[in-house]
Structure 1
Amino acid sequence: MASYRQGLHQPGKYHLMTLAESEREGHDRHVPHRHDFFEIVWIQRGHGHVSCDLNGFEYRTNTLLIVSPGQFHAWRRESETEGFIAGFSPDFLAVNSEHPGLLAKMPFLYPENLDPILHLDRVEAGRVDQIFEQFQDLARQDAPGRDDLARGFLLVLLSYMRQLFAHRNQTADTPTRGESELLVQRFRLALEEHIPEVVEVGEFAELLGVSRTHLNNGLRRCTGRSASELIHERMLLEAKRRLLHSSLTIAEIAYELRFQDPSYFGRFFRKYTGVTPGVYRGSMQQELLAG
């Protein structure tokens, strides 16, 4: 594809480009936007802020950032920024999306209670530089097996990031919990792919090829929450995103999220936030204007 002539781009699979290449191709990262793939952003030099959904983070030289599918994000640079962007689809990394065992070992890809950002020291940054430089060398070659090599570089990078996140939290990696942990990751992938078209527990159980009871038991074992609780949590996030980043009316958002009527959507939203959708939208827009 000509627009990625300096980097790697395999539609629906993965891409690699420098931040400068991204800007030259007209990607306006200052405007809130979202993707259906993961992105790893490596800031080699620079300083500024990035917003991911409802949270904001400062980035500086030697910063790694994860952006998950569906997250609204935007950048505000305070100095010249240099680095790389590597993106990939869940299917490409897992090879077989029905058995995403690799994704199950990478919980930081789905930041919930964990900030999706790492500030590295000089030694750590040097290792990440080497990985991206080798990945970039791949872009200059047109040889068989390129997809396998790209997958290999991504897995090396993600495995190293797994160690960095574990070290930052001063805890060892949690041992896998077998089938239940894989089920959790498959469920989370299904949530990202199918919300809001699919919202019922039974529909997700059917998609995953398990019973409702098996799904709920596995989720409770690993997360302490039921499937319906996690679906509601994800629906609430989607509602907040659309209230904040779209011009749709509250009624239009309600119907897009498959609520029977706007009043039911309002009761749902108020139950979990304490305010109505209209009040939430107004207060958040005032905060954005003030900030």
Structure 2
Amino acid sequence: MDASIHRYARGEWHGPSLSHRHIRFQKGLYADFHHFLLLREGRAELHFNSGEERPLQGPLLAFLPPQARCDLLIAAGTAAHLVGASPQVMVDAIGEKVESYSLRIFTEQRKLVEASDPLLVAEIAPLISGFVREIDEPSRASWMAASAYMRLILMTLWRGTEGERNEQRGQGETGSILQRYRQLVEAGFRQHRPISDYAAELGVTADRLHAVCQRSLGRSPIQLLHERVVQEAKLRLERSARNIQEISDSLGFSDPTYFSHFFKRKTGLSPAGYREIARVSAGSENRMLSSGYADWP
């Protein structure tokens, strides 16, 4: 049992009631959570800070990243599951596999993702119900199980809303090479492999890979690789309780001193200095801090 799980994960069943319910996502503990709403039947509304209002009619599934900045109004007589995950749980759920890059970008898009496809709703519904049971039962409440449920929910939603297929459409040779390079970097950036290894795995020369990255993004392959390492270091310094040596080890550095020099050379701050700024700036819009995986191109 993980007694602290309720600080990092949220699972609620809202049965039909005689009055409406108002849920403020940006208040208190859940302000930085990613939320999923499974509207089994009935109606709800999303009220965005921009003034937009979005009516919802069940059965329906909605995904709300924290950037959505909205409130939820559940109408009387409506049955709904609401689950949420903190940035820490999302990091574990997204993992470190080839698909992780795509999932990170998908989960940080500043838009509402809806799926009214009944087959998709039927596929995700038991996963969301399982997540709620996991969080709700004191004898269970496992962080590992909660993050596993969240991974399955994310993968199912990504595939079901054409996130996977959209990535594969319209890519010429250059786009394909770049996308595959990003995926290889996602799977192997902790191994600190030379760029020539990546090029060989892609079946192109190192010069060809350099030209593709430079033309598409204005950066060399090694710059992109280093940016990914720095991005992960920032996220771990912000969102985990690991010490600097543990973070250095987890990112494949053999020496924490070298990691500190590398991080300072890229950011202008030591890892400890960056962590202190993150601690002091918690909940603010400090642009020095990482705003998420979507920052990595």
Higher RCO (CA-CA < 8 Å; seq separation 6+) = 2
- TM-score norm. by structure 1 comes to 0.50
- TM-score norm. by structure 2 comes to 0.49
